[in-house]
Structure 1
Amino acid sequence: MTMKYVIIGGDAAGMSAAMQIVRRNKDADVTTLEMGEYYSYAQCGLPYAVGGLVKGGLDDLVARDVETFRSKYGIDARVNHEVTHVDTEKKLVSGKDFSVPYDKLLIATGASPIVPDWDGADLDGIHTVKTIPDTEAVIKDMHNDTHHIAVIGGGYIGLEMAENFVEQGKKVTMIERGPQLAGIFDQEMANLIHEEAEKHGVKLLFNEEVKGFKGDSRVEEIVTDKQSFKVDMVIVAIGVKPNTHFLEDCGVHLHENGAIQVNGYMETNIPDVYAAGDCATQYHRIKEHDDFIPLGTHANKQGRIAGLNMAGDSRTFKGIVGTSIMKFFSLTLGRTGLSLREAEELRIPTEIVDAEIPHHATYYPGSEILTIRLMYQRHTEQLLGAQIIGKEGVDKRIDVLATALYHKMTMEDLENLDLAYAPPYNGVWDPIQQASRRRG
C-alpha cells in the first residue's frame, strides 16, 4: 500500500522533508501545499536583493522552482493552497475548494511578520519583508520618488534593510521601542552597532513606540508616542509569529508563543503529525528547554529530520545553541549561546570576559580589532555564550565557540583547542583563547 504524505508549506523545512521522503521511498505519494506561489527560496537573501547585490534579481533566490519538484521528483507540488483546517481524526487537511487525505502529515507553515493594529497600517507604502512578492513590492516602491524610509524594529531584518536602503542612497530612520538595536546582543556590544549606524547617517530613535500613520491613500507621516515626522515609505520588522492559527481546534499542543510543540523526532502529540521550521519549537542545548529562534538553518535541519522519520528512519534533532551572524555596513555581528539577560533570567551565576584583540598577527598588514565578550558559569567555568563584533575574522571565531557550546566545553577547554595559525589568519594564541585566559 502506497503511503500518502502531505506537507503543508513549500519552503525550507517542508521541502527538505519532501526530498528526504522521495529519496528513501521511490513509491511515496507526496503532496505539498503552499499558500503562495514560490517554493524553496532564500528568505535571508531578500534584503540584499533590495540593495542590488543579487545581480540576477529575485529569481536568483529560488533554489528549486515548483515545476522542478513536479517533473524531476514526482511531488504533487501545489501553489495557492492555503490550509485552513486539519482534522486529525479523519486524517484530512482542507482549505477553500480542496481537501487532501494523509497517512503522515508535516506542518511546515513557517511564520509571518507581526504588524500591530496601528491606525493607518493599511496605507500604501507600508511594507513587511518575508516573501518574494513582499520584496518585489518594496523594490518597486523604493524607486517611486521615495527618499526617507522609516524602519520599525532593530532586529536582523531591520538592520539589513536599513543598510541596503542607505546603500541605495535613501535617508533612513530606525525606530526601536527598547533601549537598543539588536536585542540579542548585550547593551555594551550593541553600542558598537549604534556607532556604525550613525556613522552611515542612520537616525536612531530609542524607547519610542509607534502609534500609527497618517496619509490619504499612501503613508505620509509616522506618529510615535513622542513625535510625528514625514516619511515616504515604512518597513515593519518587529518580529514574527508562527503560522499556527488554523490548528486551534485540532488538538495539537502549542507553545505559549503559538509555536507547535515537538519532540526530538519532530513529532507532535498527535500520532502521524509532525512539525518543523519556523512554526515549531527548537530545543536549546544551553537553556535545556524548548525555545523559539526561527532561522533558516534550523528549518532546514528540522525539515530533514522530520522527513527521515516520516520515511521510516529514526533520527533526532540535536538542538540549537542560538548562533547567528549578520553583516551591518563594515561590521560583522556574531553571537552564540546565552546573552547576559538570558543567563540572568535562568538564574545562572555568570562571569564575563570583555576583550579587544587583533584578529591576526599585528605585524601582518590588515589587522582589525575584534570586540569579544565571553560568558561562563562561575563555578564550573562552562562556556555559556559569546558575542563578537568586528570587521574581519568574526565568522571563524563564532563557529568555534558555537561548537564549544554544543559540546559544553569549559573556558580551559577553549585554551587547549588546536586552532589553525599563520600570521595572515591568526595570532599564535587565537583571540578567543586570549580572551579566555583573561578571566578572573
Structure 2
Amino acid sequence: MKVAVIGCTHAGTFSAQQILTQHPDAEVTVYEKNDTLSFLSCGIALWVGNNVSDPKKMFYSSPEALSKLGATMKMEHEVTDVNLDSKTVTAKDLKTGEVNTDSFDKIVITTGSKPVVPNLPGIHGSKVYQCKNWDDAKRIKEITEKVSSAVVIGAGYIGAEIAEQLSVINKQVTLIDGLDRVLANNFDQNITDRIETEYKNHGVKLALGEMVKGFKEDGDQITVETDKGSYTADIAVLAIGFLPRTELFKDQVEMLPNGAIITNEYMETSKKDVFAAGDASSVFYNPTGKADYIPLATNAVRQGILVGNNIEKPTVKYMGTQATSAVELYGYALAASGLNAAGAKKRNVEIESVSIEPDYRPDFMLTTTKVLCTLYWDPDTRRVLGGSFLSKHDISQAANVISLAIQNKMTIDELAMVDLFFQPNFDQPINYIGAVAAEAAAKK
C-alpha cells in the first residue's frame, strides 16, 4: 500500500505515525514544503513573552522520527499538482529545483491552513508580520526584542495572546479588531468586558469595531489606517484568522464554501482512497450536528490518528468536536466548550443561558476566588450545548467536563446531578459546574 501524505504539521504528522504504526509495511511518502514539522504555533505568543524554556521543545516530532518509523520524507518539497483521479502527486524540490511525479494507492490531504491576508495596500511590507509557522515565530521573536511598539490586527485567540504578551514585556500595544469586543467569537460580553479592562490596565489601546484599510511604512515605523483612525508603531502583526489551504483540490472533492474539504466519519473524502484531516478539512460539530470549520490542533491530532486507523478500511468513527479551548490572559484563565451566544447566533441555533459567580472553594479557607460560569442549552431538549468559565483560579478543566456533557448529549438536569467530588482545597460541596447546571435546571 503506497500512501502519499501531503503536508506535515499536526494532522500530517499523526497520520503518518499512525499509518506506519498499524501498517509497518506501508510505503508512506510525506511531502512538506518547510524544513520542519509538528510546530506548535500556539506557543508563539508565549515565546515572545519569554515563557518558553527552549523553542526547540515547541516541536514534538521531526523528519528523523518519521523516517525511523519507515516514512520517506520529502522535506522542502512543494506539491504543485495533485490528480486525485489518477492518484498522482507532482512536487518540486525547493533545494534543487527538480520536479517529479509519483503515483499512490491512497492520498492523505493534510495541507493545513493559511493566514487570512486581505488585499490591502501595504500589507506585504517588511514591517508586517504573520503569526503561523516556525519562520514567522523566529521573525516575530527576533524583532520584538528590538522594538518598543506594535499594532496587532485581530483580537481572536492568537491576536489576544500576542497583544497581552507584548504588553507584559513593556511594549506599547494597539489591538485592532473589526468586531466590537476582544475575543468576541470565543466568549460573551460578561467575560470579555473584564478582559478588556485588563488590557487597558496594562496600557493596551483597544481599537475595536474598526476595519483596517491599509498600511504605510515611514522610515522605522508603520502606520495602520482604519475606517476610524490611524495607529503608528514599529511593527504590525497580522492575526486575522485562517482559511484552509486546499486550492490544489478545488473541483476534485466536495468542500465547504470556504474551501474546507468535507469528510465522512472515517476521514474519507468524496473521492475514493482520498482522506483529509486537520485545518484543511471540515469537522463534525456536535453542538449543531453539522459540518463546520474549526481549525484547532486538538482536532487535527485526533483526525490524523483516525486517518491511520481507517487508511486500509473503515474501522474507527470520528466522534466529532466541541471546539473545546482555553487561554490565559493577565492571570485569568478563560475556558470554553461548545456554543456561546455569538456562536449560536452565527449558526442560527436557539439557546438558553444562565450565569453564576460563586467562590471556587469554601470561604473558610484562607484564600479563595470567584469563578464566572455560564452554561448554554437547547430550550426544547434541555441538552447542554456549551459552557464558559473565567477565574484567577485554574478552571481550564471545567471546559473538558462540558465537552464530555455535550458529546454524550447530556441534559442540564443530568449535568446537575453528575458525581463531582468535594474537598475544601479544591471546590465547594456543590462544584461550580454542578451549581451552574442546577441553576439552569431550575430555570423554567
Assess if the C-alpha contact under 8 Å between 2:212 and 2:227 holds in 1.
yes
| Helix, strand or coil at the partner of 2:126 | coil
- Any runs of at least 4 consecutive aligned residues in structure 1 with deviations exceeding 6 A, and if so which? none
Assess if the C-alpha contact under 8 Å between 2:324 and 2:403 holds in 1.
yes
Which has the higher mean CA deviation after the structures are superposed, 162-171 or 417-426? 162-171
Question: Given the alignment of the two structures, is residue 389 of structure 1 paired with residue 379 of structure 2, yes or no?
Answer: no
Q: Which residue of 2 aligns with 1:28?
A: 26
Summarize deviations over 1:225-249 as a string: whole Å, max 9, x none: 1112321011100100100011125
Q: Which residue of 2 aligns with 1:69?
A: 66
Q: Which residue of 2 aligns with 1:413?
A: 414
Distance apart, 1:309 and its partner CA: 0.8
| 1:189 aligns with one of 188, 191, 212 | 191
Q: Which residue of 1 aligns with 2:360?
A: 359
Assess if the C-alpha contact under 8 Å between 1:358 and 1:370 holds in 2.
yes
Assess if the C-alpha contact under 8 Å between 2:19 and 2:307 holds in 1.
no
Q: Which residue of 2 aligns with 1:334?
A: 335
Distance 1:420 1:218 in 2: 57
| 1:7 aligns with one of 5, 8, 24 | 5
Q: Which residue of 2 aligns with 1:105?
A: 107
Distance change >3 Å, CA 174–CA 347, structure 1 → 2: closer
Question: Given the alignment of the two structures, is residue 95 of structure 1 paired with residue 96 of structure 2, yes or no?
Answer: no
Q: Which residue of 1 aligns with 2:119?
A: 117
Distance 1:41 1:345 in 2: 31
Distance 1:219 1:109 in 2: 35
| 1:79 aligns with one of 58, 61, 75 | 75
Q: In the comparison of the two structures, how many residue pairs are matched? A: 434
Q: Which residue of 1 aligns with 2:96?
A: none
**Amino acid corresponding to residue 311 of structure 2 in structure 1:** M
Alpha carbon RMSD of aligned pairs, Å? Answer: 1.5
Assess if the C-alpha contact under 8 Å between 2:168 and 2:202 holds in 1.
no
**Amino acid corresponding to residue 194 of structure 1 in structure 2:** E
Taking structure 2 as the reference length, the TM-score comes to: 0.94
| Helix, strand or coil at the partner of 1:134 | helix
Distance 2:302 2:231 in 1: 44
Summarize deviations over 1:205-233 as a string: whole Å, max 9, x none: 11111111111576521111111232101
Distance apart, 1:159 and its partner CA: 1.0
**How high is the sequence identity, in percent, across the aligned residues?**
31
| Helix, strand or coil at the partner of 1:379 | coil
**Amino acid corresponding to residue 31 of structure 1 in structure 2:** T
| Helix, strand or coil at the partner of 1:124 | coil
Distance apart, 1:85 and its partner CA: 1.4
Q: Which residue of 2 aligns with 1:278?
A: 279
Distance 2:56 2:378 in 1: 47
Summarize deviations over 1:36-59 as a string: whole Å, max 9, x none: 111122222122111111121x21
Taking structure 1 as the reference length, the TM-score comes to: 0.95
Assess if the C-alpha contact under 8 Å between 1:123 and 1:218 holds in 2.
no
Distance 1:28 1:132 in 2: 30
Summarize deviations over 1:130-152 as a string: whole Å, max 9, x none: 111101011111123x1110110
Distance change >3 Å, CA 98–CA 217, structure 1 → 2: farther
Question: Given the alignment of the two structures, is residue 60 of structure 1 paired with residue 57 of structure 2, yes or no?
Answer: yes
Distance apart, 1:11 and its partner CA: 1.3
Assess if the C-alpha contact under 8 Å between 1:383 and 1:410 holds in 2.
yes
Which has the higher mean CA deviation after the structures are superposed, 251-260 or 308-317? 308-317
Distance 2:11 2:343 in 1: 27
| Helix, strand or coil at the partner of 2:29 | strand
Unpaired segments ≥5 residues, structure 1: none
Question: Given the alignment of the two structures, is residue 50 of structure 1 paired with residue 17 of structure 2, yes or no?
Answer: no
Summarize deviations over 1:239-298 as a string: whole Å, max 9, x none: 00100011125x111111110111111001111100000010000111010011100000
Distance apart, 1:346 and its partner CA: 4.8
Q: Which residue of 2 aligns with 1:234?
A: 236
Distance 1:152 1:345 in 2: 22
Q: Which residue of 2 aligns with 1:319?
A: 320
Distance change >3 Å, CA 189–CA 43, structure 1 → 2: same
Q: Which residue of 2 aligns with 1:171?
A: 172
Assess if the C-alpha contact under 8 Å between 1:353 and 1:438 holds in 2.
yes
Distance 1:64 1:385 in 2: 33
Assess if the C-alpha contact under 8 Å between 1:24 and 1:311 holds in 2.
no
Distance change >3 Å, CA 269–CA 385, structure 1 → 2: same
Assess if the C-alpha contact under 8 Å between 2:153 and 2:175 holds in 1.
yes
**Amino acid corresponding to residue 79 of structure 1 in structure 2:** M
**Amino acid corresponding to residue 326 of structure 2 in structure 1:** I
Distance 2:133 2:404 in 1: 31
Distance apart, 1:347 and its partner CA: 4.7
Assess if the C-alpha contact under 8 Å between 1:123 and 1:219 holds in 2.
no
Distance change >3 Å, CA 88–CA 437, structure 1 → 2: closer
Distance apart, 1:341 and its partner CA: 3.0
Unpaired segments ≥5 residues, structure 2: 93-98
Distance 1:436 1:284 in 2: 22
Distance 1:112 1:98 in 2: 25
Distance 1:89 1:374 in 2: 47
Q: Which residue of 1 aligns with 2:207?
A: 205
**Amino acid corresponding to residue 438 of structure 1 in structure 2:** E
